[in-house]
Amino acid sequence: MAPQPVVTGLSPKEGPPGTRVIIRGEFLGTRVQDLTGLKICGSDCLLSAEWKSPNKIIARTGPAKGKGDIIVTTISGGVGTSTVQFRAYHETIGPLKESAVWIEESPSQNFAWGRRTLTQSGLTQEDPLGLSIEGNEQKIPEDLRDLFPDACGDLSQENFSPAWFMLENHLATSFEDLKAGLAYLKRKVESQKEGQLSFLKSNAGSVIDQLDTLMNIRDKLQEDVKLHGTEPFNILEQSIENSISESQKIFTDVLVRKEKADSTRSVLFALSRHKFLFCLPNSVDRRAKAGEYDIVVNDYSRAKNLFGKTELAIFRQVLEEVDQRILLIRRQLHEKVVKMPQSVEQQKKLIKALTSLELQQSGTPIGDRLRNTDPAWDAIEARAKYLEATFRQTYEQHSNKDAGGTQEKSKSRDPSQAPSRVNFCEELCDIAASQLPDLWRLGQLYFTGELRGPHDPKPGDFKRMVLNAIDKFCVYLRLAILIAGDQRALRQASGLAWPIGSASATHHFLPWIPQCLRYTRIAYATLIGLDLPSEALDIIQKLIDEVRLFCFSIIFKRATDRCKKLGVHETWEMTVEDYPGATLLPATLETLLVETLDEVQSVCMQPEVREGNLLEPHSDGQREVTQRLQELLSTFSGVIAELAYPAHDDETTPTHNVSQLLGFPNTQQPESVSGVLSGSASVSWEQRMLCCLANYAYCNKSFFPHIGELFVRYGYPLPTLAIETARYNVNQLFTNLLEEYVEHKGDPLVGTIEPSMYLGRFQWDHEMEIGLGHLRPYAHECCDNLVGVYSEIYSISPALLRPILESIVQTISEELARLMSCVQRFSYTGAIQAHVDIRLLRDALDNYANETAKNYFMEALEAISPPLNSEQKRKADEILERVKHNMRLQMLCFGVKEP
């Protein structure tokens, strides 16, 4: 409760009734409606009070008399106190004083000789002591009224007090002067007591003139009687009587007019005094039209307090007319309360005015004609319905525009122009950010009691209303943004569907999804500041998480599309230190991935206020990250495969890099140098395959695990499933490509062994010259071709030597075992030569021979029939040593275990 009102200042401090008084103090009310009472010297002055501020009130005094306090009463502070007093007195009305009432103008009586004085005593009042009052102009002391409560110092009044007169007029006169004044007063009184003789003496001339005049009149009358008789006296008498009658009529008429004037003056005074009431019907209409409903409520309340219990018919008639006007204003107010759009402050003002007017008319016959159940709740429902209607209207406007533009050609679409979906999201978020807070604030005002009506509040209904509005907001955003979501479920739940546009329109919309997310987040931040219940905010948070995840998906799909074009930018530069032969293609992918992760982090993955973590274990976000990374890495693996198998029309048919001239080594050399191939246009198919195999191996060994570490650095959980799946796919592609390369290199090489072996109708059962220490052409051919393959692989990626050569060596050993097993009989020298050929190949390729190849070599040696004796073995060993010495370079090439 506010402090008690205190009056500390007053101007003026005295005066007659109707004096305009300025009252100053503290806590004199917070507004006009707070002032409920004002008494000055016990007289009620509320009707004339004008509240200016909590420290100032202007009013006019009532018909009080004497000293008294100024008591201010307010709703907030109650009955107040006063530290100052006002002195009220009744002013004497003289002939020169303006007055609004009838004043008897009978002159003062001078009882000397019973005659009336010719002039008013009030005009020629002199000092009865015959003294000058100059120098005695002093203000009456404040306590003079207290000393003489029923007296005054006016000589013409019945309650004249000599003491008052002396204190008022001769406060500074000396005692000697006062004695002289007393002597003067006595002489004046004695002079009035001398009688008729003294009067005649002083007026002898006048008396003689009067006697002469009377004598002349008598003589004239006697002459008239002689001439005309006594009838003139009758005529004179009749004239006098007529004059008396006429004067009586005139007097009566004057009295009637005086009464009418008094009545008119009383009426005018009543109208002036109660002007507030008589002007109230038009005043409330005028104030209502101007929107000043607080003044209407205040004026109506004052009228009810002042005249509500009056018995005067005219007052009751005016009050009934005012009640009718107020009833009409209540109807208008209720219509304005539910009329949208309008601000919360305007609605609040209207609801308060309507509630106050309804409360003042409650319990009366006129009030029962219109009962507004709960205007505040009606305003809340109207605002909620308007919000939903605005959502629906905005949705239909933009969706119809999008439906009408589906036939628009993609060539005429401006990429910089936002699609209708984006404009819809922006407008819808603006509506939610501006109108949902208004709805919530109006509800809070209602439930805190500021706008509550006579009925109990409905918190459950309001909560359901807010939740429904937020749910509608989220449904419309889902329809516009989540184009890849379950639109069928949304259509079944809401009965709405955004028109399906062309593929180009969808492609045009996807880059704008982060902007839609930004609009949604701005609206969400606005609603967070309202202290909404968690249940309402969770609805929007779920939508934002879905949009964030969808935005992540779109960004990664765009990165996947860019990844499909990485092969165009392949320069075949082999500058990867960790894995020779690997090109810059993985590094290009890493750059693309870093750009994508930066974009994702800034756009959607970094949670803002009251947003969840999308990367919770076993969450949709983590599954989406795994799926998108898996798609990206799978696409990258496909790009490598496309580079390994070019589909260009100008690509020459791959040639087998194997010499077809038996007995001569392969003379083709790889067209590469260490680090950089000589232009992508001149890169051979074999070199492409080797680079792609190196890229596969590098991805499997270190690059894909490095991608996992990159995701961890950006705050993601380690995408183990995506990495391992990608590694498995790369292994499969590596195996397939390796088989393709081995088949391309190994089949021609193996295919030349048998023709070279039987060149020139050679047969193993014929004797031959073996002392020169040479190999048969097929062995030389096989060894030289392997050196050529070795050189080609080594120049690209030495790490690929073992997996490629092992497969080729196994195929060669299997072919040798088959050919040897097909020979029926070996000659003495043929057995030695076959033994030397097979042993040389076995020893030279020992580092690249697996167990299966070694077994095949052993089968080939065992297939020589008959087996070699000791002499043959000794000669074979000698020839083998000479051959190894002659082929030491080839042997050295294959002798490096870890190239």
User: Does residue 801 sit within a domain?
Assistant: yes
Q: What is the mean pLDDT of residues 2-29?
A: 91
Task: Indicate whether 362 belongs to any domain.
Answer: yes
What is residue 851's predicted lDDT score, i.e. its pLDDT? 92
- In 3D, which of 53, 48, 65 has the Cα closest to residue 5? 53
Half-sphere exposure of 746 (CA within 13 A, CB side): 19
What would the two tokens of residue 264 be? 């008119």
Dig out the tokens for 146 from the structure.
Answer: 């207290």
Q: Which of 44, 64, 88 is the last residue before a domain boundary?
A: 88
User: pLDDT by residue (tens digit) across 217-267?
Assistant: 888 888 877 877 766 667 777 888 888 988 888 988 888 888 888 888 888
Handedness of CA 885, 888, 891, 896 (dihedral sign): positive
In-domain check, residue 792: yes
Q: How many residues does the chain have?
A: 899
d(CA 229, CA 368): 89
- Of 346, 372, 398, which residue sits at a domain end? 372
Model pLDDT, residue 670: 42
- Spell out the long-range contacts of 394-402 with Cβ–Cβ below 8 A and sequence spacing 24 or more: 394/424, 394/427, 394/428, 394/431, 394/476, 395/424, 395/428, 395/476, 395/479, 395/496, 398/423, 398/424, 398/427, 398/480, 399/424, 399/498, 399/499, 402/498, 402/499, 402/501, 402/505
**b/e per residue, 329-354, with b = 16+ CB within 10 A?**
bbeebbebbbeeebebeebbbbbbbb
As to burial, measured by CB atoms within 10 angstroms (0-12 exposed, 13-18 middle, 19+ buried), residue 802 is: middle
Residue 75 belongs to some domain of the structure: yes
**Which of 372, 388, 403 is the last residue before a domain boundary?**
372
Q: What is the pTM of this model?
A: 0.61
Q: What is the pLDDT of residue 657?
A: 47
Residue 360 counted as domain residue = yes
Q: Identify whether 352 is part of a domain.
A: yes
Residue 230's pLDDT is what? Answer: 67
**Has residue 797 been placed in a domain?**
yes
- CA atoms 831, 834, 840, 846: torsion sign: negative
In the sheet that holds 56-60, the strands lie side by side as 50-53, 56-60, 20-26, 6-11, 81-82
Across 679-683, 694-698, 754-758, 826-830, least confident range: 679-683
CB 322 within 8 A of CB 301: no
- Highest mean pLDDT of the ranges 456-470, 592-606, 641-655: 592-606
Here the CATH number for the domain that contains residue 61 is: 2.60.40.10
Question: What range defines the domain where residue 340 resides?
Answer: 283-372
- Mean pLDDT calculated for residue range 289-310: 85
Residue 679 lies in a domain: no
Per the prediction, the chain carries an average pLDDT of: 81
- Give the list of residues 6+ apart from residue 3 with CB closer than 8 angstroms, or none: 26, 27, 77
pLDDT class for 26, splitting at 50, 70, 90?
very high
Asked if omega into 12 is within 30° of 0 (cis), the reply is yes
- Give me the half-sphere count of Cα atoms (radius 13 Å) on the Cβ side of residue 423: 14
Q: What is the pLDDT of residue 678?
A: 47
Residues 6+ apart with CB under 8 A from 235: none
pLDDT digits (tens, 9 = 90+) for 159-189: 788 887 888 778 778 888 888 888 888 887 7
Q: Tell me: the pLDDT tens digits for 670-707? A: 444 345 554 445 678 888 888 898 888 989 989 999 99
pLDDT given for residue 532 in this prediction = 84
Give the single-character DSSP code of 700: I
Is there a contact between 117 and 42 (Cβ–Cβ < 8 Å)? Answer: no
**DSSP string of 757-768, one letter each residue:** HTTTS--TTS--
Domains contained in the chain, number: 3
- DSSP symbol at 584: S
